[in-house]
């Protein structure tokens, strides 16, 4: 049988990794797919660029129509990133009856509802395993492997760049900016790294995970998003003293009155497996009523790990070329007419334990004032750490761990503590997750 002809849009880190994996493992891949897979055109905007992955010159084009309008190309792989023109190219490919594989979580999270509807109408597949947690086959695991479960929650480290930066800061005392530059050099970061460090990329991925876990439409606008830019080395060190690691995570969890969707740094007890996931590695806990707790671990970014996921999707698509579209696995795991609008909670209604740090004057009664505010609001304290003053300083750092408290309550406590005359500067707040 003739090889399946594939067009590649974008030839950067992921595009290069995809070509490398497809080329090196061509024989094995053909044995799995039932047909050979051949990349016949590659769209790039910088054709002269030297690349780790050399390809024949005739493959390269700067004209997207060479792929989108070529009727012999059955599968389009999008590894350009960004919303436009990626969205228009994907919709054009779908309109021409081509199947699509994409690594673009920003696009799926924000325009996926439209893209999947177009794909269904045209009877083609849009596959996106590479979009979440790079090389970890988490989409397939939740959508197929755990399809018998009522999923209770999905939580994990889903941005390799943030995890790499936090690991470098903790282990080597590396400055934030230096660690970010290293992550960019290694090909982990988004073209605009603001998406990584401000939590937006993790929110894109959480949006996709929540949809396939709970059968809700993609709801990026409802994710609570915080990044790691404001984290200070002192908090990482104090957390360690209290027996915790600081990680940037996404949580999508069913609670009694709705669904929590949130991305932010957390303290995790250092003995938990997930607290020991370092560098570019990602890990996702999925809890289902039948299976219990599962943990998926692996490289969350990088050329070949992400290429591994892209190639698996291409193979999946090739296998379905002859399948009746009605019989395929639904894009978002649930049948499109069976998606529900579960209420997504505002952050004020979320309950977590908290870490607070403030600078307070070193005189009697100040600590009592702080703890009285917490007691008045019904917030109980798990631990207090008061550090000696730095030489020459008039204030001392006070660190508190609370038991579980509603966000609205802790916001009120922070406001009252900040108003004390003996407390100076910004009060730092991090949430704590035990993942017990
Ligand atoms: N880097 C990773 O580890 C990783 C992992 C998973 C998913 N992703 C996603 O994969 C996609 C690509 O990421 P990357 O890291 O490979 O980025 P990259 O910047 O290394 O590569 C993108 C390539 O696409 C090209 N491109 C962009 N717009 C184009 C246009 N209009 N016309 C022609 N070429 C164009 C760029 O020139 C570049 O060569 C993004 O959606 C990203 O979120 C990346
Ligand atoms: N920039 C992303 C790439 C993988 O999705 C990350 O660092 O996790
Ligand atoms: Na994946």
pLDDT digits (tens, 9 = 90+) for 210-250: 999 999 999 999 999 999 999 999 999 999 999 999 999 99
Cα-flanking dihedrals φ and ψ of residue 292, to 5°? 85, -140
182 and 319 inside one domain: no
pLDDT tens-digit map of 319-368: 998 788 878 899 999 999 999 977 999 999 999 999 999 999 998 999 99
374 falls within a domain: yes
Q: What is the mean pLDDT of residues 311-318?
A: 97
229 and 355 inside one domain: no
Say if residue 11 carries a ligand binding annotation: yes
CATH number at residue 88: 3.40.50.720
234 and 258 inside one domain: yes
132 and 154 inside one domain: no
277 within 8 A of 186, measured Cβ to Cβ: no
164 and 270 inside one domain: yes
90 and 149 inside one domain: no
Residues touching ligand 2 (Cβ under 6 Å) are 134, 159-161, 188-190, 196, 201, 300-301
146 falls within a domain: yes
Say if residue 41 carries a ligand binding annotation: no
282 within 8 A of 299, measured Cβ to Cβ: yes
Query: Which residue, of 314, 338, 362, is where some domain finishes?
Result: 338
Distance 13 CA to ligand 1 centre (A): 7
Ion ligand 3: residue ranges with CB closer than 5 A: 129, 132-133, 136, 309
Q: Given this model, what pLDDT does residue 47 score?
A: 87
Q: Given this model, what pLDDT does residue 323 score?
A: 81
Ligand 1 pocket test, candidate residues 80, 87, 126, most atoms within 8 A of CB: 80
- On the question of pLDDT at 1 being above 90, the answer is no
174 and 247 inside one domain: yes
pLDDT tens-digit map of 45-103: 998 887 878 899 899 999 999 999 999 999 999 999 999 999 999 999 999 999 999 99
Q: Sorting pLDDT into bands at 50, 70 and 90, what band is 391?
A: confident
40 falls within a domain: yes
Return the C-alpha torsion angle 267, 268, 270, 274, nearest 10.
-130
20 and 38 inside one domain: yes
226 falls within a domain: yes
Residue 88: domain span = 4-136+304-338
345 falls within a domain: no
Burial of 203 (0-12, 13-18, 19+ CB in 10 A): buried
Distance 126 CA to ligand 1 centre (A): 18
ipTM of this model?
0.99
101 and 115 inside one domain: yes
Mean pLDDT of the chain: 96
> How many structural domains compose the chain?
3
CATH number at residue 376: 3.30.70.260
Is 98 marked active-site?
no
- On the question of pLDDT at 43 being above 80, the answer is yes
165 within 8 A of 300, measured Cβ to Cβ: no
pTM to 2 decimal places? 0.96
Say if residue 435 carries a ligand binding annotation: no
Residues 6+ apart with CB under 8 A from 266: 246, 247, 248, 249, 352, 430, 431, 432, 433
43 and 80 inside one domain: yes
Note the Cα 28 to chain centre separation in Å.
30
98-107, 246-255, 384-393: least confident range:
384-393
Helix axes 105-122, 86-95, angle to 10 degrees: 20
156 and 288 inside one domain: yes
Q: What percent of the chain has pLDDT over 70?
A: 100
Let me know the angle formed at the C-alpha of 121 by 119 and 126, rounded to the nearest 5 degrees.
10
């Amino acid at each position: 049988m003739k090889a399946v002809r594939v067009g590649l849009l974008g030839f950067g880190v992921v595009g290069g990794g995809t070509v490398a994996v497809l080329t090196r493992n061509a024989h094995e891949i053909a044995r799995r797919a039932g047909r050979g897979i051949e990349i016949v055109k590659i769209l790039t905007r910088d054709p002269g660029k030297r690349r780790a992955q050399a390809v024949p010159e005739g493959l390269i084009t700067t004209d997207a129509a060479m792929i989108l309008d070529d009727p012999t190309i059955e599968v389009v792989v999008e590894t350009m990133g960004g919303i436009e023109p990626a969205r228009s190219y994907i919709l054009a490919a779908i309109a021409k009856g081509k199947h699509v594989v994409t690594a673009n979580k920003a696009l799926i999270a924000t325009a996926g509802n439209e893209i999947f509807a177009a794909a269904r109408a045209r009877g083609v597949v849009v596959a996106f395993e590479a979009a979440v947690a790079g090389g970890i086959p988490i989409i397939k695991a939740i959508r197929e492997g755990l399809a018998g479960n009522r999923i209770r929650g999905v939580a994990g480290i889903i941005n390799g760049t943030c995890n790499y930066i936090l690991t470098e800061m903790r282990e080597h005392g590396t400055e934030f900016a230096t660690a970010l530059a290293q992550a960019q050099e290694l090909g982990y970061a988004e073209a605009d790294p603001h998406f990584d460090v401000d939590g937006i990329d993790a929110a894109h991925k959480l949006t996709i995970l929540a949809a396939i876990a709970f059968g809700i439409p993609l709801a990026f606008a409802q994710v609570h998003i915080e990044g790691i830019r404001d984290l200070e080395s002192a908090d990482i060190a104090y957390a360690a003293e209290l027996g915790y690691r600081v990680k940037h995570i996404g949580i999508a969890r069913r609670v009694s009155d709705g669904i929590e969707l949130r991305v932010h740094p957390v303290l995790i007890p250092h003995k938990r497996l997930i607290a020991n996931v370092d560098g570019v590695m990602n890990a996702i806990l999925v809890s289902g009523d039948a299976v219990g707790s599962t943990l998926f671990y692996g490289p969350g970014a990088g050329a070949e790990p992400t290429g591994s996921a892209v190639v698996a999707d291409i193979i999946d698509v090739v296998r379905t070329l002859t399948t009746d579209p009605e019989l395929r696995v639904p894009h978002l795991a649930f049948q499109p007419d069976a998606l529900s609008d579960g209420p997504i909670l505002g952050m004020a209604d979320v309950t977590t334990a908290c870490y607070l740090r403030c600078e307070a004057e070193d005189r009697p009664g100040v600590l009592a004032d702080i703890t009285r505010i917490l007691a008045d609001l019904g917030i109980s304290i798990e631990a207090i750490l008061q550090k000696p003053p730095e030489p020459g300083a008039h204030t001392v750092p006070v660190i508190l761990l609370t038991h579980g408290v509603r966000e609205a309550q802790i916001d009120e406590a922070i406001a009252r503590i900040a108003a004390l005359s003996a407390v100076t500067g910004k009060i730092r707040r991090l949430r704590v997750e035990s993942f017990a």
